[in-house]
């Protein structure tokens, strides 16, 4: 097997596949996923409609790939946040900062998650809810390592983690709605977000 040539063929396919995904992602800025047509996506990717089927069986399948992609990005953000908070004592400030930076860098992925989480497309909605539940569980086991949370029950940790994750996603939505990156409105959102996270945190020592 000629590896280089073989790669070249696969590479091409991968390329148009990526273009389809990218086209869909950017079309989602002004449309919800369920209002997105296969033809529209194909057109934006510079490909004939029927070519779409060489890559995805349906729009739903493409959507699920986007869920995957987006959560890969989100998990990367969480890893950064964890790394940053280990260095800094200002856990909240650092986390929010990381979140803001990630949203700037991967706007489309975060927008996709935030918008489609409650969307009309049941397949995507459930996929995203499932992923968020996973992320939440991961955060819970992470929280368990903090000394002042060591004797909390699993269920309580889960609830706290879910609280944080939800707050996070809501912050993302607010950030997406803000007119300019780094503007005064964004600073307001950030300040409120930090305040709200702090309000949750101050309650932690008093639980039970």
- Contact criterion met (CB below 8 Å) for 168 and 70: no
The Cα 185–Cα 188 span in angstroms is 5
Residue 173 interacts with which of its own copies, DNA, none, CB < 5 to 8 Å by class: its own copies
Which two three-digit tokens encode residue 67? 């869920």
Q: Which is nearer to DNA, 41 or 193 (CB)?
A: 41
Tell me the closest approach of the beta carbon of residue 10 to its own copies, in angstroms.
Answer: 34
The DSSP output letter for 200 is H
Tell me the closest approach of the beta carbon of residue 205 to its own copies, in angstroms.
Answer: 8
- The residues that touch its own copies, with contacts defined as CB under 8 A, are 28, 30-35, 114-115, 117-122, 129, 155-156, 158-160, 162-163, 166-167, 170, 173, 177, 192, 195-196, 199-207
The DSSP output letter for 46 is T
Q: What's the number of CA atoms in the CB half-sphere (13 Å) around residue 87?
A: 8
The Cα 111–Cα 169 span in angstroms is 10
The Cα 63–Cα 33 span in angstroms is 8
Residue 58 interacts with which of DNA, its own copies, none, CB < 5 to 8 Å by class: DNA
Residue 121 interacts with which of DNA, its own copies, none, CB < 5 to 8 Å by class: its own copies
Tell me the closest approach of the beta carbon of residue 203 to its own copies, in angstroms.
Answer: 3
- Contact criterion met (CB below 8 Å) for 117 and 125: yes
Residue 16 interacts with which of DNA, its own copies, none, CB < 5 to 8 Å by class: DNA
Phi, psi at 142, each rounded to 5°: -70, -45
- The residues that touch DNA, with contacts defined as CB under 7 A, are 1-2, 4-10, 12-13, 15-16, 37-40, 43, 47-52, 54-55, 58-59
Tell me the closest approach of the beta carbon of residue 1 to its own copies, in angstroms.
Answer: 45
Tell me the closest approach of the beta carbon of residue 194 to DNA, in angstroms.
Answer: 42
- Contact criterion met (CB below 8 Å) for 185 and 170: no
Q: Which is nearer to DNA, 12 or 104 (CB)?
A: 12
């Amino acid at each position: 097997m000629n590896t280089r040539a073989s790669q070249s063929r696969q590479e091409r396919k991968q390329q148009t596949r990526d273009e389809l995904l990218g086209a869909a992602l950017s079309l989602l800025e002004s449309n919800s996923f369920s209002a997105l047509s296969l033809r529209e996506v194909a057109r934006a990717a510079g490909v004939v409609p029927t070519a779409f089927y060489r890559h995805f069986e349906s729009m739903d399948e493409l959507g699920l790939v986007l869920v995957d992609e987006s959560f890969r990005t989100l998990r990367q953000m969480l890893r950064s946040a964890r790394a940053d908070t280990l260095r800094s004592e200002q856990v909240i400030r650092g986390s929010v900062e990381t979140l803001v930076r990630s949203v700037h860098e991967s706007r489309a992925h975060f927008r996709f998650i935030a918008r489609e989480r409650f969307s009309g497309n049941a397949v995507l909605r459930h996929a995203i809810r499932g992923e968020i539940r996973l992320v939440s569980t991961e955060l819970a086991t992470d929280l368990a390592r903090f000394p002042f949370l060591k004797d909390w029950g699993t269920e309580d940790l889960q609830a706290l983690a879910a609280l944080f994750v939800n707050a996070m996603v809501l912050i993302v939505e607010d950030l997406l709605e803000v007119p300019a990156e780094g503007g005064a409105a964004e600073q307001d959102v950030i300040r409120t977000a930090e305040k709200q996270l702090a309000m949750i945190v101050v309650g932690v020592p008093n639980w039970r």
